Chains A and B, each alone.
Chain A
Amino acid sequence: MNTSVPFVEMRGIVKQFPGVLANDRIDLDIYRGEIHALLGENGAGKSTLMNILYGLYRADAGEIRIDGKVVHFDGPNAAIRHGIGMVHQHFMLVEPFTVAENIILGNEPHKGIRLDRRQAIAKVEELSEKYNLHVDPHARIADISVGMQQRVEILKALYRGAELLILDEPTAVLTPQEADELIVTMRQLVAAGKSIIFITHKLKEVLRSCDKVTVIRRGKKIATLPTADASLNELATLMVGRDVELTVSKTAASPGQPVLQVENLHALDNRGLPALRGITFNVRAGEIVAIAGVEGNGQTELVDCIAGLRQATEGKIKISEQEVTNLTPRQVQEAGVAHIPQDRQKRGLVLNFTVAENMVMRSYFRPPFSSGLTMNQGLAEGYAKNLVAKYDIRTPSVQTLARSLSGGNQQKIIVAREIDQNPDLLIAAQPTRGLDVGAIEFIHKELLQQRDAGKAILLVSLELDEIMALADRILVMYEGKIVGELSGEEATEEKIGLLMVGERGKGGETVAN
């Protein structure tokens, strides 16, 4: 389908945010019928560029051409009219609405002033048939799987007549098998004449599923090349700007006594539905145990239970032989548990506190920071200065608000604080989410160092690469249960992937519900 005129041309796009040049004269050509990867680190400027193409942001300079004609988008409506559709990384779905309601929202079929629900459903069924994207139009978003939600998002764009689909990190929430299905869907769509921009920071996906790749680094376009000509190492170097080690060097673990023991743990989620259904495992001193699984299979609830942030309805949790089930977060901490929480902005930090105040968040109540009722801010600042220097946290001062630091430096505050507690067990929940390669390398190195210093480490991650790089043992969670255990050596993406969708690995044990 390639013709000489690209479907979309972006020319010299510039976008300045306070303090950052997010896009610096970027050019991008998208032809009909191609899957074009947009590769770059977190914060490289990919999302900004795509938000400009989708009319959500205005560029400071540069122009966009569609079929050779210059266009100006003053909002998503204009972009939609020109056949551009976007599937955001965080789905833009209204949870209490049905699938059909979400798809038609903003462009509703109606009879007079009345919403025509029957026609809405018919249209959704027709589209879903045509592109082989199966959804139940009557189901509520809150009740369907992440994979189906993604199909709803794609249908939403197609319903609006999208010719170009922008998929922002679409595989981040999928199992390897679901990701494969998505790639099949993408192939079908381009075969039908659509184009796809595939935003990612995962190199393997680019090589596996895309025709062309454009690499962006620190707001600049570095290169565009056909994937057939590219190698993993070459792409990595282009993306990061220096040679990177794709694998972390790691020695064999020498585990000691169990530190964390979890027995038959049950708990409910925020809606009051069972989230954990009989979890049993342990983590020994000097090993990293990783929990793998698709988001929403009980990992968050498990970590919350261990950390004392959620009540268990049944079962036992022990730290170094001391029972801590349903104790308060403070008591769990005193039993020797440190916790790098999954949501650093909501849990891990008080964004409106200074760096110093955040640094003592887990120790402010103890001497020397507090004695009796009073608290000594001066000591807290001294303590924070030491940690800032030790962990190379980039901040103007310890009196700076945590809010104003970059994600990587915010995460470093948490890592420094938690490691400095000298815990027996360190829980790291998605410790590198949204960080750039430098910060990721730093955190991986710290976790391995802690392991080698004899700590027990429980790692929860959605990134299989991270799990395979760090874990000595891998537990896979599916629907509130641990459905399989693999050693670090025997694990492969395929094996973990099968377990992530609830299929037992070798051994042939059936999943009992």
Chain B
Amino acid sequence: MVVPALAMFVVFGIVPLVGVLLLSFAQWDGLGAIHTAGISNWRTVLSDPALPHTVLVTFEIMFLSWAVQTPLSLLLGVFLAGRQRYRALLAVLYFVPLLLSSAAIAITYKALLDPNFGLGPGLHLGFLTQDWLGKGNLAVGVVIFVVSWQFIPFHSLIYQGGVRQIPTTMYEAAAIDGAGRIRQFFSITVPQLKYTIITSSTLMVVGSLTFFDLIFVLTAGGPGDATRVLALDMYKRGFQANLMGPASVIAVLLVVLGLILALVLRRLGGSTTASQQEGA
């Protein structure tokens, strides 16, 4: 069973990675011949005055979308872990956003948020009639909101599974000791979910590096460059400006960044005390 998996990983993981690394030292417009270019691409990209802003926006969206999604998914996951029937019904409804493609979600929100023909002007709601995607800070906020709306269901699902793994004996013991629901949540549920939180956070943080489709359709990086994240920057350089070399540099940076973040998050999980779960 190892060989096919390894073959898949090499063909679809390692080979393209090496290809991108090589391309980052080459000059190619995607059409003609490939010429070696030494480190000139790296120099161009790293000295680009727009790069710090792009990196900043990437991290801003990464951090804020994590900060919004984690508490909401956790609470929702705990709620859905209950065995009541109405919760099972709600769970199905909550997962609807997960079934939609990012492009469809982006087009929908774009239409809803249109300052002239959207939801706000349509229903004559002043507070909804903002230039949502036309002002830098608002646009970042909208991106975070839509990302959260799309991915909270997925992370709730992870938390729901995590909560159901927690032995009920712990809650029974706590109840005997007189702990209320809030106390139980913070003293049992959250510590027991430590690994689930780390897994979910890793997925959120590393996944946010690849937010492309949603932002591309929703704002195309705009207004100006307010929502131009690294993944979008890579696409624009490579496929709109025909500069595959500099685009590959960004791709390599994204890979390195993703690896570092994943490793750091794993470390965070490993250094403290082990799970108190029965048999663990």
Please say whether chains A and B are actual partners in one complex. no
Interface residues, chain A, with chain B CB atoms under 8 Å away: none
